Amino acid sequence: MSKYITTPIYYVNGEAHIGHAYTTFIADSMARYERLKGENTYFLTGTDEHGQKIEESAQKNGKDTQAFADEISATFKNLWDEFEISYDKFIRTTDAEHKIGVQKAFEKMYEKGDIYKDFYEGHYCVSCETFFPETQLVDGEFCPDCGRTTNVVKEESYFFKLSNYEDKLLKHYEQNPEFIMPKSRANEVINFVKGGLRDLSVTRTSFSWGVHMPASINDDKHVMYVWLDALLNYITALGYGQDEKLMNFWPATTQFVGKDILRFHAIYWPAFLMSLDLPLPKTIGAHGWWTRDGEKMSKSKGNVVAPKEVADAYGYENLRYFMLREVPFGQDGDFSQRALIDRMNSELSNDLGNLLNRIIGMSGKYSDFEIDSIDVEKYHSKELNQMNEVLDSLDNYMETLQTHRYLEELWRLFAIGNSAITEYEPWAKMKQDKKDEALATVALVANILAKAVVMLSPIMPKTADKVAATLKFEINNESYKKLVCDKKLLDIFLIEKIDPLFPRIEEPLMAEAPAQEPNKPVNDEEPQEVEEDNLIEIGQFFETSLKVGTVVEGEAVPKSSKLLKLQVDLGEDKPRQIIAGIKKSYSVEDLIGTQVCVVANLKPAKLMGMLSEGMLLAAKDDDGLCLVRPEKSKKAGTPIG
């Protein structure tokens, strides 16, 4: 079965940042995972290089537009190559083959009657390359997405009959619940479509940097509008409209995007495909944004995280592990050096690296580095069953894009290995003349490591290969089938000594982001107004995700006079655990079955060793504390705003 995985094509108005890296890491991991399983997999990434914004940026930098696009595109490709991203094709919208495919698609839509010519008058945001109806603007003139001033544009345009596809899209969402992941994002899209779709302007005449019209239409003053041009890259990369030998990979398995461009991919893109009589992707996976130390990243603040800088300081694969482990897919994540260092020291160094060192040390002392699995099943059936249970659970997490849960579950294997050493004490068994039992424990842990690094390889390929080489096997589809699918054990081998994989880090290796002075005006790409005391822009408010939740379970936290541990249903795949300091005002019995208001995109934190995945809204005065609740019962997960 063929698998096709894509990232969005990245806009060349600036170099790659940490958000681009996250999208690429997760897509690359998925592609590597599918190849490991033996699937015929094609992985696409690239750059989006057309549009008014690029033309203006090139002029601003005093460069020819194509030369400017070449320069920025190369920074993305070079970085992905340095990071050993396993893409099969790096597409550019300035590629001649892409332009031909776009023109072919335009012709087909036009001949079908889905594209017509008319005049457009509306508010246009150059930064977002998007038209907005006046009802969506902030204060009648500002872009609802980026906050910048829009321009009133009136020009001749070709339109795509998006309104014709409203019912078909809603039917597809209903019949294919996995089309938009995570499912919590689907309601945003569905509600937008239910609000009514207007026909979409797909050409412009006010600039020339884009794909020109097909010769058959004979209208040279128009160029394709950026979203029609850009979205079609996913099929032009497979040869659409030309040599279509790679079109057998279509439809895409998973198309990864940031949440800010979900609407384009979940509404416009499937409508275009319906018009072209092509099947729709299986899943559009929309991830959240990244902040730094809890603050939105901005050039003016000097807190933008450059992925190469982090990789140079801490190691590329360590960064990759951190980002895929740190945040649930779909939620916003926060980058901090302290969090990265903590995960490296605790999970990579202690759990994985130290376990390998212990096995090397014990096998060297007890058996001249020879490891034989002959007695593992005899003495460790319990641990083998635990290990196989974990291995069997992993595929579901990757299929549902939950890399954080995939890694969390995978790390249980190292816990099983470390617990086995503590429980069975091979050193004591050697003193008791029970060498076969001691060596069986050593071999058990070697097998746990082997199976674990096979499954770690999509996330940390070079690290996994190093461990596999130490255990004298190669990671490939054959070893995946043997060790994971068929649950076989390692053949007898001599383990190889290596240097510690993850030396501990005591201090940050990069300069910390400068602290932002409160209410200090910033100089970003455009002038900003001086803020009054503690006022925020509407865009900042909408970065906070407030949702209605239903309390389904709860218990008091032992040894705490304030905390309750609650399970709150937010309409997601499973309830959130929230640790709330409301014990003096509410009992668990008061709360079960009632509704609360939750800050849903708060970074998870540990309180008394327990993970809290959100915060309840409450008000407190001299009369005490009370929870903020909806006036009427609402469906769990209903947004507040």
pLDDT of residue 574: 84
* Cβ pair 39, 3 in contact under 8 A: yes
* Cβ pair 310, 30 in contact under 8 A: no
Is 146 within any annotated ligand binding site? yes
pLDDT of residue 438: 98
Distance separating alpha carbons of residues 248 and 425, to the nearest angstrom: 55
More confident residue, 558 or 318: 318
Token pair in block for residue 588: 């668990």
Is 128 within any annotated ligand binding site? yes
Q: In the 3-class helix/strand/coil scheme, how is 506-522 assigned residue by residue?
A: CCCCCCCCCCCCCCCCC
Is 597 within any annotated ligand binding site? no
Q: Which fold has domain 544-640?
A: OB fold (Dihydrolipoamide Acetyltransferase, E2P) (2.40.50)
Does the pLDDT at position 145 exceed 80? no
- Residues 31-39 have a mean pLDDT of 98
pLDDT grade for 304, boundaries at 50, 70 and 90:
confident
Of the candidates 63, 64, 65, 61, the one whose C-alpha atom is nearest the C-alpha of residue 49 is 65
Burial of 622 (0-12, 13-18, 19+ CB in 10 A): exposed
Q: How many other C-beta atoms are found inside a 10 Å radius of the C-beta of residue 532? A: 7
- What is the three-class DSSP state of 145? coil
- Residues 306-316 have a mean pLDDT of 96
pLDDT of residue 622: 63
In the chain, the N- to C-terminal Cα span, in Å, equals: 44
- Residues 587-616 have a mean pLDDT of 85
pLDDT of residue 254: 98
Q: What are the boundaries of each domain within the chain? A: 544-640
- Residues 280-299 have a mean pLDDT of 89
Percent of the chain with pLDDT over 90: 71
More confident residue, 534 or 250: 250
Q: How many other C-beta atoms are found inside a 10 Å radius of the C-beta of residue 142? A: 19
pLDDT grade for 371, boundaries at 50, 70 and 90:
very high
- Residues 430-435 have a mean pLDDT of 97
pLDDT of residue 533: 37
Residue 182, preceding peptide bond in cis (omega within 30° of 0): yes
Distance separating alpha carbons of residues 615 and 421, to the nearest angstrom: 39
pLDDT of residue 215: 94
* pLDDT tens readout for residues 497-539: 999 999 999 999 998 877 655 444 434 333 333 333 345 444 4
Distance separating alpha carbons of residues 578 and 561, to the nearest angstrom: 16
455 backbone φψ class: left, alpha, beta (φ>0; ψ -120 to 50): alpha
Distances from the Cα of 64 to the Cα of 59, 69, 78, 330, angstroms: 7, 9, 21, 38
- Residues 114-121 have a mean pLDDT of 90
* pLDDT tens readout for residues 329-356: 999 999 999 999 999 999 999 999 999 9
Mean pLDDT computed over every residue of the chain:
91
pLDDT of residue 125: 83
pLDDT of residue 138: 82
Of the candidates 576, 617, 545, the one whose C-alpha atom is nearest the C-alpha of residue 259 is 545
- Residues 275-280 have a mean pLDDT of 98
- The pair phi, psi for residue 227, each rounded to 5°, is -75, -35
pLDDT grade for 620, boundaries at 50, 70 and 90:
confident
Q: Could you tell me whether strands 203-204 and 223-224 are parallel, antiparallel, or unpaired per DSSP bridges?
A: antiparallel
pLDDT of residue 601: 87
Least confident among 281-295, 406-420, 485-499, 531-545:
531-545
- Residues 214-230 have a mean pLDDT of 92
Burial of 494 (0-12, 13-18, 19+ CB in 10 A): exposed
- Residues 191-196 have a mean pLDDT of 94
